[in-house]
Each structure stands twice: as structure tokens, then as C-alpha cells.
Amino acid sequence: MATTAQSHPPPTAVRRRSPGFPLQVRAALQGLLIPILSVFTAVLVGSVLILLNGRDPITAYEGLLEGAFLEPRGLLATFRNMTPLVFSGLAVAFAIKSGLFNIGVQGQLIIGSVVAAWVGYAVEGLPPLLHVTLAMLAAALAGAIWGAIPGALKAYTDAHEVITTIMLNYIAISFAGWLISTGSADGTIKPGPFASPASAEDAIARTPDILESAKLPVIYSVPPNFDLHIGIFLAIITTILITFLLFRTTFGFQLRMVGYSPNAAQYAGVNVKRVIILTMAIAGLLGGMAGGIQTLGVNHRYEGNQSLGLGFDGITVAFLAGNSALGVNISAFLFGAMEAGTTRMARSADVAIELIQVLQATILMLVAADQIVRRLYRIREVGEGRARQSSGASAGKDG
């Protein structure tokens, strides 16, 4: 009897639960509740892991919070860390709106970093503001080209972007590695074209340091060696621009249309190939800017092993945010805070910094598999009659 009622609800059986809130508000609240509960659950899982290693979770999380928000430079470090993550997160979230998985942010970021460093040290005699702008634009353009390649491959040969972007990540690592390579000791292999002359002596592959005029302006300094650059504002401005592009322009409309149904878009007269290539180019541009920001604002040169992982973190950041541009800023803030707090956590509670990655993976898993969280905390879905957002639950559905 009960089962029949469930599968075919009679029209009179209007469910009355938590009166007062309209459906949309409840749905929006749940949209926030699931990520928050996911973070909470991940913290609990982390505590268990810390206990397993015989350490104290309270001290560890205290250290994490202090490092992320309280220390003289805590909150500032969080802001600085979140900046590239906003860009790399947007690079993933933006592409997903048209149904494309940009796993290639890492490569776009590397290319952006190394090109920014090159313009930063090689172009001389420019006024500061112009120089840093030029370097940033070069990074963005290089990232855009790097991103457009898998876009074009997808559009014209139907090569799956997930694999091509992963391949391009490795090509970027090797290519940038060659650009800054030190050459062989006996001189038979020449150093890479961007290699610093000084690296011949200490054998650390890197570009020369960028000129003062190419460094991102600093808005706040904490002695002895911490500077917060203006990147955080660039991130906010970019977020607004991307949101505008997505929801207030014809191109954004076409892009989202392709995301929902490429066939329908095609019939409606959208040039799907062009949309795919442009989307990947813009996603690559954002990835390139993530790299440019790190080079011009923090590292001041390109070295092989810098900012590894920032691009991959972008995937997690974007999915945690349900691919909304505003949400990307919030989850980037969360990740930036975690990163800022790890050193302090490791120091005060003797907990390995890799704990953060476990937390991040757990958060991502719980957000993606929201059924787990719903079951754990007994949350019913809003409007049960609605078709379940299955595989695309986090892929390009909500803004």
C-alpha cells in the first residue's frame, strides 16, 4: 500500500513539511547546508586520522585556525593563497558550464607562469604599471592558446578533452622544463632559452628574477618577508566579469546552451565548434592568469616545482562550489585558509601536512555524493517530485 502511494502520489496528498519557506529558499538553503555538513564531516574524519596517529585533534585544528586567521599574517596569507585558486577554480567552473571538463588547468597555469616570468625579466624600460599589465596579459594569452588547443581538438576531431588536457599538462611540464633547463655540465647541451645565467652555477633550473617593474603592487606588508599583492582584487573583478559573461551576454547564453544540449544548440543555430573553442580558450586564459599571478605576485620567477597542484586544486575548488563563480571564491577561501594553516598545524600538533589533502578529498567526495551526507544527517531532498540530478549533479546545473 505504502509503496504504491509513493510511486503514484494521489493529487490530494499534498505534503506539508516545514511550513513558511517557499521551495526555492529551502533549495537554496540546502545548497549551502550540504557543503557545510561535508566540511564538518571531513573535519571529523580528519580527527579520527589524527587520533590514529596518536596526536591531539583539538591542538591540530587550533593550530590550523590560528595559522589561517590569527597569526600576524594569518588572514593575509589566506587571501594570498586563495587568489590563484579563484582563477584555477573559475577555469574549471567556466568550462563545465558548456559541458567541458578542463583537467588541464595545471598545464595552462605552468605556461602562464613561465611566460609571465619571461616578460617580467626580458622586457626592460617599461613603467611599472604597464610592465606588470603586459606580463599579466602575456600569461593570460599564453594560457588561452594552451587552452584553445584541446578545445579545437574537441571541436574538430572529437578528441575527449579530459585526456587531451591531461596530456597537455605533461607537455607543459616538459616544455617549461626545457625552457628553463640548465643544459649539460660539459656544455654540449645548451641551456634552455629562458634559463637564468645564475642557474649554471647552482644547477637549480629557473628563470632570472623578474624586474621590480613587473611585480604586482603590494597592498600590505608584514615584516620580515610577507607581502600581500593586489591579486585578490583582480580575482574579485574577474569573478564579476565571468559571471556577467555567463549570464548577461549572448555568448554566455550560447555557452550554457551547449552545456545543456549540444544538439539542441546546434539546431538553434549556435556555432557549437566556435563555442567549444572559445570556452576552452577563456578557461585557459583564467588558468594562465592563475600562473601569472603566482609568478608576478609571489614567486617572482619560474622554477620547475613551484605551484604544483594549484591547477589540480582548481578542480576540487570548482566542484566544492557547485561550479558557481561566487561559490568558487568561498571554497578558494576555505582551501587558502587550510593551506595557510597547515604549517602552524604541523608545528603545534606534529601532524603531517598531507592531512589537508585527505580533508579536501573527503569534502569533494561528500559534496559530489550528496546522498551520503543526506543519509548521514537525514536531510530530505527539496521537492521530491523533481527529477534527481544524477550524474550531472555538480556538472553545470546550478549557477
Phi-psi region of 309 (alpha: psi -120 to 50; beta: other; left: phi over 0): left
Which CB atom, from 55 or from 71, has the smaller least distance to another protein? 55
Cβ 200 to another protein, closest distance in Å? Answer: 15
Instruction: Point out which residues bind another protein (CB under 8 A).
Output: 49, 53, 101, 103, 153, 157-160, 162-164, 166-168, 170-171, 174-175, 177-178, 181, 183-184, 188-189, 192, 312, 315-316, 319, 352-362, 364-365, 368-369, 371-372, 388, 390-395
Least spacing, CB of residue 356 vs another protein, in Å: 7
Residue 28 or 395: which CB sits closer to another protein?
Answer: 395
Angle at 373 between CA 369 and CA 378, to 5 degrees: 135
Question: Percentages helix, strand, coil for the chain, rounded to the nearest 5?
Answer: 70, 5, 30
85 grid coordinates: 585558486
Report, in Å, the least distance between residue 320 CB and another protein.
Answer: 11
Identity of residue 93: A
In angstroms, the CA 312 to CA 104 distance is 8
Residue tagged 563563480 (cell numbers): 325
Of residues 177 and 399, the one with the C-beta less far from another protein: 177
For residues 350 and 236, give the distance between their C-alpha atoms in angstroms, rounded to a whole number.
35
Q: Which residues contact 32 (CB under 8 A, 6 or more apart)?
A: none
Task: Between 36 and 353, name the residue whose CB sits nearer to another protein.
Answer: 353
- Least distance from C-beta 388 to another protein, angstroms? 8
- Considering only the C-alpha atoms of the chain, give the largest distance between any 2 of them, rounded to a whole number of Å: 87
Of 210, 221, 291, 236, the C-alpha closest to 77 is 221
Minimum CB separation of residue 365 from another protein in Å reads: 4
Whichever of 95 and 214 has its CB closer to another protein, that residue is 95
Closer residue to another protein (CB): 175 or 251: 175
Q: Which is nearer to another protein, 354 or 398 (CB)?
A: 354
Q: What is the DSSP string of 221-274?
A: EETTTEEEETHHHHHHHHHHHHHHHHHHSHHHHHHHHHHH-HHHHHHTT--HHH
CA end-to-end span of the chain: 40
Determine contact, residues 284/91, Cβ cutoff 8 Å.
yes
Closest approach, Cβ 315 to another protein, in A, equals: 6
We find the least distance from the C-beta atom of residue 359 to another protein, in angstroms, to be 8
Cβ distance to another protein smaller for residue 211 or 364: 364
To which residue does cell 598545524 refer?
A: 345
Question: What is the nearest approach in angstroms of another protein to the Cβ of residue 259?
Answer: 14
